Amino acid sequence: MLETLKPQPADALLALIKLHNADPRPTKIDLGVGVYRTGAGDTPVFGAIKAAERLLLETQDSKAYLGPEGDMGFVHALIPHVFGADFNRARVEGMQAPGGTGAVRLAIEVAARAGAKRIIMGTPSWPNHAQIVAAVGLELKTFKHMTAEGTADLEALRAALADAAPGDVVLLHGCCHNPTGVDYTPAQWDEIAPMVAASGVLPLIDLAYQGLGDGMEADAYGLRQVLAAVPEALVAYSCDKNFGLYRDRVGAFYVVTDNAEALAIAMANGATIARASWSMPPDHGAAAVRLILGDAALTAQWSQELFAMRARMAEVRERLAAAQQIGPINMAPLGAQKGLFSMLPLSAEQIMALRERHGVYMAGSGRVNIAGLTTGNIETFIAALADVAG
């Protein structure tokens, strides 16, 4: 039977980790998978997480099962940070998920069970979005996320929503758009919220980078505008980036609705999907986040660490933007883009030349994780880019 299986290509993004690790050149530069790096090129565990882990070690008295919803203390502790301190608590319920990917999978599976047929999504997007939609068996309808000028294309979203049919879900990136770094502006969100409401589609907001753009509150602006305008929505959340918990897989799936009965039933559906998929999410990272958010001093420490990440990424973006023009590439817009990612208009040959000649690793789409650039390698990267694109 097994010989009938079709070969599968390795996940292109995750394959970069191995390719980069295998490169013996000490000057190699990793701009691939989305992990934050310090100015020294490391991805350390947050100090606040280490402190919470110590607390966990001392105080956790059981590792007995929690259930398919995971740590509800964690799920609820995030609510004011994500939805706002004054959000109507009766409208929202959630459950823990294994990372942002698990949360997106739960959201799309629940939408499918509710009758969703099609996901409307701006492209380019995080490649796994399309893979998850396909795995759940829904149709994908795409629209262009960016204008030729490199701004977020509100008109393309407007047209996609105008064309929407019953059973459609629109997937929106809450902030730090992956892969372009081009977010909707607050003024655009002000238009998007009533537009989504008028279209009648179910919004699914993927918020995987809250705090890496302009701050926890500012990065939730779009999500909060949309949720204030619509009767129901789904939210996929990740703590993998803003708490640096990548491999611990810490995410949450939230349902927002004015209908209390539908809320309970949606969560019950989420729980049965979880049970048949991973049974229960991994506990450790979520428990650490719960401890941080339940302690003012640890919350302050974590906020400070998140601030330092933003400040460093702003410096990197400033330096990249200062390069102005590298051959045909206009670098100036990178200064205003948000989060870990930006996209460079490079051909497959140029991306391969960067890898082979200069040891620079980036996604095949031209996406670069700007956090892979440090004071020690940014000039090398700019020179390499000039070499292949200049």
What residue ranges bind ligand LMR (CB under 6 A)? 13, 33-34, 101, 126, 128, 178
How many other CB atoms sit within 10 Å of the CB of residue 376?
12
Residue 286 to residue 363: CA distance in whole angstroms: 29
Residue closest to ligand LMR (Cβ): 34
208 is catalytic: yes
User: What is the nearest approach in angstroms of ligand LMR to the Cβ of residue 11?
Assistant: 8
User: What is the nearest approach in angstroms of ligand LMR to the Cβ of residue 340?
Assistant: 8
Show the CA angle centred on residue 135, arms to residues 74 and 278, nearest 5°. Answer: 40
Nearer to ligand LMR, 243 or 266 (CB): 243
**E strands along the chain, which residues?**
29-30, 92-98, 118-123, 139-144, 168-173, 202-207, 232-238, 250-257, 325-326, 329-330, 341-343, 360-361, 367-369
Nearer to ligand LMR, 34 or 366 (CB): 34
Which of 97, 126, 288, 363 is flagged as catalytic? 126
Nearer to ligand LMR, 13 or 291 (CB): 13
Strand partners, 388: none
Strand order in the sheet with 232-238: 92-98, 250-257, 232-238, 202-207, 168-173, 118-123, 139-144
Which of 220, 241, 287, 288 is flagged as catalytic? 241
User: What is the nearest approach in angstroms of ligand LMR to the Cβ of residue 58?
Assistant: 32
With H, G, I as helix, E, B as strand and everything else as coil, classify residue 177: coil
User: What is the nearest approach in angstroms of ligand LMR to the Cβ of residue 269?
Assistant: 25
Which of 164, 193, 208, 274 is flagged as catalytic? 208
302 is catalytic: no
Nearer to ligand LMR, 33 or 192 (CB): 33
In eight-state DSSP terms, residue 178 is T
Nearer to ligand LMR, 98 or 359 (CB): 98
Is there a contact between 48 and 321 (Cβ–Cβ < 8 Å)? no
Nearer to ligand LMR, 101 or 180 (CB): 101
User: What is the nearest approach in angstroms of ligand LMR to the Cβ of residue 19?
Assistant: 14
DSSP per position, 321-381: HHT-EETTEE-GGGGT--SSEEE----HHHHHHHHHHH-EE--TTSEEEGGG--TTTHHHH
User: What is the nearest approach in angstroms of ligand LMR to the Cβ of residue 302?
Assistant: 20
126 is catalytic: yes
With H, G, I as helix, E, B as strand and everything else as coil, classify residue 108: helix
Q: Where do the H-state alpha helices sit in 39-91?
A: 47-59, 72-83
Is there a contact between 108 and 216 (Cβ–Cβ < 8 Å)? no
Catalytic residues: 126, 206, 208, 241
